[in-house]
Structures are given as C-alpha cells and as structure tokens.
Amino acid sequence: MASAAHPAASGVAAPAAPTKAPRPRTGGDGNGPAGATPPAPSGPPAPAREARRVPRFVWALPPVAVLALVFLYPLALVVQQSVTPDEGGTSFAPYGEVFASEAFRSALTTTVWLAAGSTVGCLVLGFVLAMIIAFVPFPGCRAVARFIDVFLSFPSFLITLALLFIYGNVGMANGVWTDLTGASSGPFDFLTTPWGVLLAEITYFTPFVMRPLLAAFSQLDSGQLEVASSLGAKPARIVRQVILPEALPALAAGGSLVLVMCLNEFGIVLFTGAKGVTTLPMLVYGKAILESDYPTACVVAVVNIVISVGLYSLYRMVSRRVGA
C-alpha cells in the first residue's frame, strides 16, 4: 500500500498561509500615525490671551479711589486746617498754643486715665464673667453667651440712657430711696461725675473683652481642669496656673481694643451730662461747634488721631504676637 505523496513531490504548490495586514503605527494617544502632531486648539494664541488679562492693580483702583474720597481727603483737610491760623498762611503756631493751654492738658489727662481705668475694669469684670459662663454650668448660660453677641451691636448712648433711668437724679434707685425714707432727693448723684462716665464705659465695653475670652475658653481642654482638681489644686490655683495662661492672648487683644475705643468715646461722655469731664473728643466738639475755633479743634483732632493710630498699631502687634 503506497503512502500519501508529499505535496511538494507531486509538483503542486501548497496554498500559502494567510498573512495579517500590518497595523498602522499610531502615536501615543492612539488617534493618528506616530510622529503626527495633534491639531492645534481653537481660539487665540496664548500671548493674545495673556494680553487680554487686566492687571491686578487695576482692580484695586476703585476701592482706593473711594477711600481717598471719603476718608483721606477730609483727613487731609483737617491736617491742613491745623496748620492754618486765622491770620492766614501756614504755621505750626496753633500746635504751640494748644500744647501750652491748660484745657488741652486737662483733657488729655482725663482721656488717658478714663481709658486706662475703663480698660482695667473691663479686663477684670470680663474675665470673671467669662469664667462663670464658661466653667460654671447654670440654666440659661448659652442664652447669656448669645446675648453678649447681641450686646456688641448696641450703641453706646443706649447703655448710658439705661444707666440714667436707673441711677439718674430722677431714676429708679433715687425714686425707691425717696419713697422709703421720705427724703427730698436720693443719694445717687454720680453719673454726672467722672465715676459715672467710668461706670458707663465699663458697662458698655466689657462684652468686647468677654467675646474673645469665651472663644479662648471654648478651646481649653477640660481634662486639664479635672486633673488639676484631682491632684488637690484649689480653685484659685487652677485659675492662676491653668486658666489664666490660656486667657492671656484674648485678654491682651481685648484690652488693647477696649483701650483704643475708650480713647475715642464721645457718646457716653455727652449723654451722661458730665459737664466737668472734658476728654479730647469733647474738646474737639466744644472748640468746633460751640466756639467755631476750627484751627484749635483740628489740632486736637490730629493729636487724637495720632494717639489712636499708635494704640491701634500696638493692638495689631500684640494680636499678632499672642496669636489672637
């Protein structure tokens, strides 16, 4: 039996195996042949887009113009008037006359000691009240903390009027006293004195110290207080060694702010009717409105501005250093 012949031996060529067509080489993104550049994006070229951008300083021009119009220009007029005597010309003689006057020195002294005394009172009272609200649980403590935020929006003259209704010559306290004793007048007659102004400023500005203190106390770890108490530390020692160090940044920031605000307070002094209390803002009011002595009023105003800006710079420096 003969075996099957090999295809090559029979002279007939075997069919060729099918071959695959070569795949075209594509670029890295698979969308075109290798080496082909992608189509350029539509729109203007990059340099043209960069040229259309408005410089950043242009956006600052509108607020700077408004600030210059409503603040810097009137301030420049005040400074100019302070070096313009009634006789005309430009001279620093008004500054010499004002600095040599007894009224200015008295107003400056009264302003400084009222601002310093009010700041100390606000720091002490605000620290005690903030500790009570933060660490002594009582019904309504959250409502009291929220009321402090609302109190900050009250105008200063409103607090002064409230004190007048209570401690004024015809106020509630004197009315109760005269009803009980039959006297013709009551014993409370201090609101028209520097002590009345001091009480009104402490009453109004204390929440400005309490607000940052409450924020600082909310960050205090209560575990530190529990550990100190478990180790036998008395409350006074806990306040001195645990609470007070944490409250120092808030006290420094709040006290600096209150000092600046008390230095420029006008409404409280005016509404208490304390005629014997003349501060720098009251002196400006008296010279400009009552006496029409504008050079003197402008000199006092410039001095008040310089002191205020200096104290505000101190406030910002203290705030940055203590991280408040």
- Residues 121-170: tens digit of each pLDDT: 999 999 999 988 888 877 877 788 888 888 888 888 888 888 888 888 77
Q: Which residues contact 29 (CB under 8 A, 6 or more apart)?
A: 38
d(CA 243, CA 237): 9
DSSP state of 287: I
Residue 242 vs residue 262, higher pLDDT: 262
What does the pLDDT read at residue 94? Answer: 86
Confidence of residue 110 (pLDDT cuts 50, 70, 90): very high
Residue 48 pLDDT greater than 60, yes or no: no
CA angle 275, 277, 279 (to 5 degrees): 125
CA quadruple 96, 99, 104, 107: dihedral sign: positive
Q: Each residue of 53-73: pLDDT tens digit? A: 778 778 888 888 888 888 888
Check if the beta carbon of residue 195 is closer than 8 Å to that of residue 268.
Answer: no
What's the whole-model pTM score? Answer: 0.73
Query: Which distant-in-sequence residues (6+ apart) come within 8 Å of 162 by Cβ?
Result: none
